[in-house]
Structure 1
Amino acid sequence: MNFPTFELNGKVALVTGGSKGIGLGMAQALGRYGATVVITSRGADEGETAVQQLKEEGMNAAYIQADVTKKEQVERLVNEIVERFGSLDILVNNAGMNIRKPLVEVEESDWDRVLGVNLKGIFLVGQACAKQMIKQNYGRIINISSIFGSVGMSFQTSYAASKGGINQLTKIWAEELAPNNITVNAIGPGYIMTPMTQDWLSDPERVEKIVNSTMIKRFGEISDLVGPVVFLASDTSKYVTGQVLHVDGGWTAR
């Protein structure tokens, strides 16, 4: 029997929204397993700082600035990666945002901003990367969803709608791209302690409710995502596609 490994040596990975939080953590994970990692974000200062951190940890990394909601910038990003590194093998489609409001207070502009980054951005980056991966006859696409693509919670109208859309895109792309040796999966984290969630998790009553919704009785940590992202990026998962892997302490299993 031929046993595949988790090693990513020789692979080139793109992580969108990779300058902080979950994105940076997943970029570190891929880099530690041998991938060359390109991170992109709108904020150049944060991006350059993140890349410097990765390099200090001994990883081969680069930063390319791009806005994932702008098609021309996304296409430029992919072209530059291929020109510089020769291929694009792994996409962690992570860039996202949230605006938490009750339904009756959600502005049209709130909806447009969240869906623009979380769904349109996922689509544009996924499309551009898929075109390159089809040429290579190889690829791993990992969309970052959320438990709120599958379960409900108050104040998540725009965010949950975008994540539900990501889950469906994942299934559709998986079927379309399977003939090209490309797998497409999603990771659906529960509440992970990051700068994006820190303020939201400062309310003790809310914290208790969230923790009690899990089986493991704690928040997630960025390190909890290392195994899932490396698994889905490597050849150990070559027979896994179209799946949403919830990393949520058992929340969605109840």
Structure 2
Amino acid sequence: MKSTWIESIAFPKVFLNKKKALQAFRGKTILITGASEGIGNACCILLSKFQVHLILVARSKEKLEALKEVIVKNNSTATILIADLYKEEQVDHLIEHLCTKQTPIDIFISNAGKSIKRPLQNSLLRYHDFTRTNSLNYLAPLKISLALTPILSKQKGQIVNVSALNVLLLPTAQWAAYQASKTAFDQYCRSNQSEWKKMNI
């Protein structure tokens, strides 16, 4: 599909300087949630070209194993951690694993997310839509970032939030659950930015 002139202005092409990227990423350990599909999968494949170690988090072991094969072919390494971030006990287990192993994580890419569009009239008996969306889009990455802050501080690391364009737009009908949850984590990150900076993150 050809992009419109409006899209080309709003989303100009970005060209990656591979030499600078190799200098920036080589040897880094990068944790990425939602690694098995979409943006997460694409990020992993791109980053794997720069000799990194990727910690892949998602629900599908089969998809992560297939991704790991690609990463290894690109001369990087990968660790697979299976977790359903909808479930707090699995988030806790993931955090325990990372912190107990004292994994020297340099970059945390918070990518896992759930998109949902539903009219209010159809949501009146579906409170669980809001709790599930909030759990994955806000509470899970929040909890992970809190746990990893001491590690990232020690490593002079980075937190990357893969957000959504609609956090910058006016509220939109039928997107209440999604927009509220994505905006919540976006605001959490923005609010912490100055404090993280003092911690060398």
Aligning the two structures, in what range does the TM-score lie when normalised by the shorter sequence?
0.7 to 0.9
Could you list the per-position Cα deviations for residues 104-150 of structure 1 after superposition, in whole angstroms to 9, with x for gaps in the alignment?
2221010011111000111012112212112x151110011101112
Return structure 1 stretches of 4+ with deviation > 3 angstroms.
80-83
| 1:56 Cα offset (Å) | 2.8
1:30 aligns with 2:50: no
| 1:47 Cα offset (Å) | 1.8
Contact 1:11–1:35 (8 Å) recurs in 2:
yes
Contact 2:35–2:58 (8 Å) recurs in 1:
yes
1:55 aligns with 2:72: yes
Match of 2:98 among 78, 86, 91: 78
- Give the Cα separation in 1 of the matches to 2:69 and 2:107: 21
Q: Which residue of 1 aligns with 2:186?
A: 167
| 1:91 Cα offset (Å) | 0.7
Matched residues, number: 175
Gap change, CA 1:67 and 1:80, over 3 Å in 2:
farther
- Give the Cα separation in 2 of the matches to 1:128 and 1:31: 25
SS at match of 2:190: helix
Counterparts of residues 1-254 of structure 1 (less than 5 Å): 5-7=20-22, 8-68=25-85, 69-70=87-88, 71-79=91-99, 82-83=102-103, 87-106=104-123, 107-134=126-153, 136-151=154-169, 152-182=171-201
- Give the Cα separation in 1 of the matches to 2:28 and 2:101: 12
What value does the CA root-mean-square deviation take over the aligned residues? 1.9
Identity %: 22
| 1:80 Cα offset (Å) | 6.2
- Give the Cα separation in 2 of the matches to 1:74 and 1:128: 10
Listed as ranges, the gaps of 5+ residues in structure 2 are: 1-18
- Give the Cα separation in 2 of the matches to 1:95 and 1:133: 19
SS at match of 2:82: coil
Out of 98-107 and 7-16, give the one that drifted further: 98-107
Contact 2:81–2:94 (8 Å) recurs in 1:
no
Gap change, CA 1:112 and 1:65, over 3 Å in 2:
same
| 1:166 Cα offset (Å) | 1.8
One-letter code aligned to 2:66:
T
- Give the Cα separation in 2 of the matches to 1:58 and 1:10: 11
Gap change, CA 1:73 and 1:130, over 3 Å in 2:
same
- Give the Cα separation in 2 of the matches to 1:81 and 1:65: 16
Listed as ranges, the gaps of 5+ residues in structure 1 are: 183-254
